[in-house]
Amino acid sequence: MRKKIVTVLAVTMATFGFAQEILMISKAEIEQKSLEENVQIKLAKKETELAKAELLEARAAYLPDVNLSYTFTGTNNPLMAFGTKLNQERIAMEDFNPDFLNNPDNITGFATKLEVRQPIVNMDAVYRKKAGKVKSEVLEIKEERTKEHIQFELKKAYMMLQLAYKMMGTLENAKLTTLANKKVVDNYYQNGMIQKSDVLYLEVRLGEIENQIRYAQSNILNASDYLFFLLNEEPKGRVFKPEEELEYQGNLLSEEPVLNPNRKDLQAWEKSLEAYDLMIKSSKSEFLPRLNAFGSFELYDDTFAQFDANGYWAGIQLSWNLFNGLRSKSQQVKLKTEKLKTQTEIEQYTKQSSLELHKAYRQVLDADNKVALAKLTWEQSNEAYRIRKNRYDQGLEKSSELLTSETMMAQKELEYHQAIFEYNTALAYYQFLK
């Protein structure tokens, strides 16, 4: 559970003259955070729901089609007039008079009809339903992969937040060091021991640090806002602060990478081929016999809301589609071509994924070497500054040389933290790909 801190982050930048409420958040909270509100995951979920909705249409291959109607008719057509009276069960001997048969009066009728059609065996529809089910499963797998990607983005955003706060801390320390040195320089200047230019050098350096701090403050707000965005929350005057500091995780790679065939996106690609196979079978099955039952129950009368006569009609139909203008044949060719195209895309995507995985692996190794080198140069710059500071205190170094050494030390510390961030990010991306 995220902890709300009562204290307020005072943002000193002129452009951010308002207070920000600090919300402490841990890496574990990020990993356990529900992703259901993320916009990308919502879109992926809607696609899955849409596929499931389309799948409901395929139930027509199994479920009956039932219609109820109530119809009024009026006619003096000889055939229809005789048929209407016959359905109403009110035919009399005089109705067979040729004059009445050939020139009937207007006959009105009210008919209630309950009609049922029941599919029994329609193999093309059966295979379409199975293909729809596979499509739904493919989208569910893609949804899971989307969640994995958002989890990676959350980890990356959290590390960006860690880096932003680490940079801020480093610059604040550099500012304190420069202020301490400036106090000494100001004292020397007042005693006429150094020139005005030495004082100005430190004032310029302070201005540079202040400018960098402003950028660091912006980076904190940007990283925090991005984290709120991924969680689909509004900042509303709040800013995240990580509970854990940015730390080097250590080299966790022990062997050459091997692409996992069970990776969600690869699974989705492979499973999509099943849908093509089923759609091809559905197209071929259009030439198989179809068995369907049908029936109706009817009520007739010449008066509204009266049902004095009734009848039923029922049967079973076995039918074949012998020729449909090559429509099914063309569809089969199209589906087979699309399947071959998808197989080629899968092969390309798999190779590209393997290439990307090996590239990410090498990036982790390079980033790890960069961390080691950055740490070494930072330590060396610290030692160089310590030596120059001692010599400066003894009057053996110029203030400009001390300033250069201090600037170098702060810069190398920033580079070290940046290297750690790049390594941690590269490692997280490699794990996502693997």
Please give the pLDDT value at position 2.
Answer: 39
Please give the pLDDT value at position 41.
Answer: 86
Question: For 356-373, how does the pLDDT look when each residue is reduced to its tens digit (9 = 90+)?
Answer: 999 999 999 999 999 999
User: Is residue 9 pLDDT above 60, yes or no?
Assistant: no
Question: For 390-432, how does the pLDDT look when each residue is reduced to its tens digit (9 = 90+)?
Answer: 887 787 778 778 888 888 999 999 999 999 999 999 999 998 9
User: Is residue 103 pLDDT above 50, yes or no?
Assistant: yes
Please give the pLDDT value at position 81.
Answer: 85
- Alpha carbons within 13 A on the beta-carbon side of 45: 9
Domain 34-59+126-235+247-279+326-433: what homologous superfamily?
Answer: Outer membrane efflux proteins (OEP) (1.20.1600.10)
CATH architecture of 62-124+288-319: Single Sheet (2.20)
What is the percent of the chain where pLDDT is above 90? 34
Please give the pLDDT value at position 254.
Answer: 67
Please give the pLDDT value at position 12.
Answer: 41
- pLDDT confidence tier of residue 19, bands split at 50, 70 and 90: low
User: Is residue 325 pLDDT above 90, yes or no?
Assistant: no
Mean pLDDT of 36-42: 82
Mean pLDDT of 82-92: 84
User: Is residue 160 pLDDT above 90, yes or no?
Assistant: yes
Mean pLDDT of 29-42: 79
Residues with Cβ < 8 Å from 354, sequence gap 6 or more? Answer: 259
SS3 string, 85-146, reads HHHCCCCCHHHHCHHHHHCCCCEEEEEEEEEEEEEEECHHHHHHHHHHHHHHHHHHHHHHHH
User: Is residue 128 pLDDT above 80, yes or no?
Assistant: yes
Please give the pLDDT value at position 8.
Answer: 32
Mean pLDDT of 300-329: 83
Please give the pLDDT value at position 414.
Answer: 93
| Range with lowest mean pLDDT among 88-97, 155-164, 413-422 | 88-97
Rounded to whole angstroms, how far apart are CA atoms 14 and 213? 12
Please give the pLDDT value at position 430.
Answer: 92
Please give the pLDDT value at position 231.
Answer: 86
SS3 string, the chain, reads CCEEEEEEEECCCHHHCCEEEEEEECHHHHHHCCCCCCHHHHHHHHHHHHHHHHHHHHHHHCCCEEEEEEEEEEECCHHHHHHHHHHCCCCCHHHHCHHHHHCCCCEEEEEEEEEEEEEEECHHHHHHHHHHHHHHHHHHHHHHHHHHHHHHHHHHHHHHHHHHHHHHHHHHHHHHHHHHHHHHHHHHHHCCCCCHHHHHHHHHHHHHHHHHHHHHHHHHHHHHHHHHHHCCCCCCCEEEEECCCCCCCCCCCCCCCCCCCCCHHHHHHHHHHHHHHHHHHHHHHHHCCEEEEEEEEEEEECCCCCCCEEEEEEEEEEECCCCCCCHHHHHHHHHHHHHHHHHHHHHHHHHHHHHHHHHHHHHHHHHHHHHHHHHHHHHHHHHHHHHHHHHHHCCCCCHHHHHHHHHHHHHHHHHHHHHHHHHHHHHHHHHHHC
What are the CA-CA distances from residue 350 to residues 55, 340, 359, 361, 380 (Å)? Answer: 29, 15, 14, 16, 45
Please give the pLDDT value at position 225.
Answer: 92
* Mode of pairing for the β-strands spanning 19-25 and 238-242: parallel
Mean pLDDT of 87-101: 83
User: Is residue 16 pLDDT above 50, yes or no?
Assistant: no
**Model confidence, pTM:** 0.78
- pLDDT confidence tier of residue 1, bands split at 50, 70 and 90: very low
Q: Where in the chain is the domain with CATH 2.20.200?
A: 62-124+288-319
Question: For 193-221, how does the pLDDT look when each residue is reduced to its tens digit (9 = 90+)?
Answer: 777 887 888 888 889 999 999 999 999 99
Q: Where in the chain is the domain with CATH 1.20.1600.10?
A: 34-59+126-235+247-279+326-433
In this predicted model, which residue has the larger pLDDT, 104 or 250?
104
User: Is residue 340 pLDDT above 90, yes or no?
Assistant: yes
**Mean pLDDT rounded to a whole number for the chain:** 85
